Every structure is written in structure tokens, then in C-alpha cells.
Amino acid sequence: MTAVDAVGESSAAGQAQSEPVTEQPTTGQPTTEQPTTGQLATEQPSGERQPGAERKGRAVHPSPLPLWAGVILALASGAAQLLAFPPYGLWWLAPVGTALLAIAAHRRRLRAGAGLGALAGLTFFVPLLSWTEIVGGVAPWLILAVSQSAFLALLGAGTAWLSPLADRYRWVWPLATGVFWVGQEALRDRIPFGGFPWGRLAFSQGDSPLLRFASVGGAPLVTFAVALAGGLLVVAVWRPWRSGTPRVRLMGAAAGLGAVLVVVVGLAVPLAHPSGRAVNVAVIQGNVPRLGLEFNAQRRAVLDNHVAATRQLAQQVAAGKAPQPDLVVWPENSSDIDPLIPQDADARSLIDGAAAEIKAPILVGTLLEGPGENLRNVGIVWQPGTGPTTPYYVKQHPVPFAEYMPLRGLAQLVSSRAALVGNFVPGDHSGVLDTGKLTVGDVICFEIGYDDLVRSAVQGGGQLVTVQTNNADFSTAEARQQLAMVQLRAVEHGRDALMASTVGVSAFVTSDGTVLDATRFNTQAELDRALRLGDEQTLATRLGPLPEFVLGGIAVLVLVGAGAVRVRDRRIASA
């Protein structure tokens, strides 16, 4: 069944489960009771019902919006969420998107709610993830978008399930909207194949006051705040002005004000700032000969680019035009040639020369061969004069279908490019790397999206968050979406951070989420800036996954409560 098929149920059928009927005293024929005063029966303050409803032995539930209106709202929900993310950056549309989906799915049957959720998800994820088509082709791109939309289908079904409870207790809506979004993201971040956190509501808030909530409860609390504001918007606009009751109108006005207050409160959340000494850090964006997969066949040219850019920076330092760096960061895949094996001694010699000339350790992103026929995606600290140090960081979360291939036989039927994917093995420890003058918490590429990987690097002693990434196979939109994740992590852990990319966007991010020195895409650049080291832990760092577990648990309780109301309604209807 497609999403449109699922929502294409008649309004009459849609009431069979959730809208019991009353009997007309004069004819004995069943009919849906309609309020005569303009106020919906279940929209009475404090969950009150119309006089006589229970005396007649029936529960009353008004009809949902027309199907065409639900479809329009679902499409608008997905579009609003998309526009909230970079490169558009209209962060204030994220709460609007959550509100539109909640209204669209309200009072629907479960299948219809799921269908509308899936429709919103497709409208959001298909364009958001369009950059994946560059690597995998159209089929993998659409399969990924559909798989992520399935989680919004669950959200839509949950919203429909909530309807009887929300009709009785209007203030359940904001809480439920918030915890439902956190719950579906918690699932999406973990399944299948370790999850895919791209497109979390929190990652749309890089320039929003709501970003500050990350210092208290990380990405889950930011998502909750966004969706809570959306739920308050639902209470504000869901027919309060047609009720004719001043109390209900006042409730709607208060809810609208509450949505604004959630954002304003974000401005009051205190931020943690690193209090350690300042260090000079340089980022090298060497660029690649050309975009696309072909760059992997030109790995020596990529290494040469990063060596040349580092030597250019060294010349600026020697001339007094740039400060002496304490650390130089190269991006992921800056050397796709394994510099630790004898047959590639020339690669090792090039990196040795660059480190000696810049007179600073270089955090090199490279590929190591082994064990066996496997590969490892690593970050290695390369000291001037002594070379590579141990331990180095091995990427803990290789990307499925890009760095290793689950279901390889099936994947090759979908895309011929599946045969190009090697087998990267994961590391077993966090990216805490001692460079001599400072300790970095390193993550590689998409790992910036996973809460536990960044947190473990900070808790392990990372004084600065470094993100080594390779965006050469993607687009500016993908790079800017990734940079928004770095903004959230900087605030979450009270650390200055940076993102080093092969082609852009590279940038520094301060602990309050401010982006500095962002580069253009597909250019060569050398950045340098003084950053402060941090040793203290924010509340979010100390709490870890606890806020997500608590909010997810509340979501389960709300679903159980909604189920209890449904059971009660059925008993009343059958009495």
C-alpha cells in the first residue's frame, strides 16, 4: 500500500475505530452527534463533555479534517522541515513542520495516520538526501529516503492513536508531540545497521536559540524543545476560535505564547565555555582534482594537494604572516595511500616532510590496509621528526553500503556501484588522541551525528573536538548540514570544534555554536585560529543518554494512556 493509498480512506470509515456514534432518540438510527452551539464536544475545558453525552451511553469524537486537507498539511510539513535545514536554514519552520503533521494525522485511523506520516517523510527526506544519488545512484537514494520515511510513518500512526486522549486533554498534545519526535529519532538513530541520524530536528537548529538546550540534554532535548513548540502551536490553532468559549480561546492564545516562550527560554540557557589555555590550530583543505568517485583513483594527487597546502602555510608562518600552529588537521582521506606499509614509503616521506616544514604535529586522515583484505579509516597524529604515533583512531562506525556492504548480493542487484564498496572494519576505542600540546576528541565524517561517539571522545579527555571528513563525493548542502551537527556538538559539550574537509566546507566552531572562517566548496584553503581547550564537562556530557531514555519512556507512557482511553470509549460505546 502506498502512502496515498493509506490515507485514501473515507471519513466515514475513518471513524469506525475512534468515533462511536449516538442514537437519535426519535428514529433510533445511528448518527454522529454534532454539537449545536459550534463547540466541539471533546474540546470542553478540562476534558469536559457535552451535557448528556454519557447519559445517552455514547462517547463523542468529532471528525478529522477532510482528507485533501490532511494530504496538503502532510506535504507542507515535509517541506517546512526541509527548509529548516541548511542550505536554507529557516530554523523556525521546524516547529511549524511538527505542528502540521500533528494536525494532519489527528483523529485518523492508524493506517491513515501512518500514510500521512510517510507522505511528510518522503517530502522531507527525498530532497534532503538527494546528495546520496551522486555516490550510489537513484535507486539507493530513494531506498534510503523511503526507509527513513518509515519512521515518520510510525510517528503519524502514534499521533492518530493519541487522538482520543488529546481531544479530552488538550495540553497532552505539546508533551506528546515532543516525546514522540524524540522516540522516533531514537529508533532511527539505531536501526537498521546502526541507524542513520541525518535529518534529526536538533540538527536544523544551528542558528536557533533552541540550540542552547544542547548543553543541558544534548540533541534529544533540542529535538524535544522544537517539537514541544510545534505541539503548542497545535493547541493554539486547532479550532479554538470557532468554539465560542472564551476559556478555550484563552487556552489557544496561551499556547501560542507558550510556543514563543520555549524559544525565548532557550536564550536563557547558560552555556559552558572552555577555560583552558589558547592553542593555535590550522586546518588544511587540500581539494581534489575533480569531484565524484573518480577522485579515489587519483589518491596521490589528493595527498600532493594537502602536502602543498601545508608547505604554503609553513611559508606564511616563516614570513610572520601566520602564527605557528600547535596542531595541523588534515581531513579524512587526505592520504588514501597507506603511509605505514613499505611499498608506499614515498607517501610516508611526503607527510614527514610536511610535518617537518610546518614544525607541528599533523592529524592525518588516511586508510590503512588490513587485517587481511579489509581496510581501516583512521586518524593518525604525525609528529615532526618521529612520524606516526600510536594509538591512532580507527573509525568506529563505518557507513553501511558505503564503507562496508551488508546484503552485498542484494545490493548489487540494486546498484552496480555496490561492487566498488570495500570492507572497512570498525575500531574499538574512542578518538582520544594526544598530540603533545593538547588532546583532541576526534570523530570521522558521519560519526559527528552519533551522540555516543562524540560524547565518549570528550569524556575520554578530548579538549577540542575535531571532525575529519571527505565531502568530495557529495555537495555543498551535505557539507553544510554536517557543519550544523558540529555546531550542536560544540554547544553540547562546551568545546571549541573544527571540521576539516577535503573540498569544503571546512570551518572552526566556537563553544557557543558560532561558525568562523567557513571555506567555499571545491577550493583549496588553509585556515588558522586560536582556540581554547576545555576540560570541564557540561551537564549534557555527564547525563549522556539519560534525557533521551526519559523522554522516550514518557512517549511509551503516553501511548499506553491513549490506549486506555480508547478501551474506555469502546466500553462506553458498547454499553
Using the predicted structure, report yes or no on whether residue 574 has a pLDDT greater than 70. yes
| Res 239: pLDDT | 65
- The pLDDT confidence band at residue 9, using thresholds 50, 70 and 90, is very low
CA angle (225 as vertex; 223, 230 as ends), nearest 5: 95
Residue 527 C-alpha from the chain's centroid: 27
What pLDDT is stored for residue 109 in this prediction? 94
Query: Is there a cis peptide before residue 391, judged by omega within 30 degrees of 0?
Result: yes
What's the average model confidence in pLDDT over 347-370? 96
Span 373-394, average pLDDT: 95
pLDDT band at 408 (very low <50, low <70, confident <90, very high): low
Residue 445 appears among annotated catalytic residues: yes
Give catalytic status of residue 395 as yes or no: yes
Q: Indicate which residue of 19, 43, 185, 332 is catalytic.
A: 332
Does an H or E element contain 555, and which? Answer: helix 546-574
Q: Is residue 443's pLDDT more than 90?
A: yes
Mean pLDDT across 338-363: 94
In tens, the pLDDT along 142-196 reads: 999 999 999 999 999 999 999 999 888 888 989 999 999 999 999 999 999 999 9
pLDDT band at 44, cuts 50/70/90?
A: very low
Q: What is the pLDDT of residues 280-306, one digit of tens each?
A: 999 999 998 765 544 445 778 899 999
- Residue 509's nearest CA partner among 484, 537, 533, 526 is 484
In this prediction, residues 446-457 reach a mean pLDDT of: 97
- The confidence band for 238, taking pLDDT boundaries of 50, 70 and 90, is confident
Mean pLDDT (the chain) is 86
Percent of the chain residues topping a pLDDT of 90? 71
Amino acid at 349: S
Backbone angles phi, psi at 363, to 5 degrees: -85, 105
CATH architecture of 278-543: 4-Layer Sandwich (3.60)
Q: 114-124, pLDDT tens digit by residue?
A: 999 999 999 99
Q: Write out the E strands in 144-301.
A: 278-285
120 vs 97: CA distance, rounded Å: 9
Tell me what pLDDT residue 49 has: 40
Active-site hit among 445, 447, 478, 492 = 445
Residue in 357, 395, 447, 478 annotated catalytic: 395
pLDDT tens across 54-103, in order?
434 344 456 788 999 999 999 999 999 999 999 999 999 999 999 999 99
DSSP 52: T
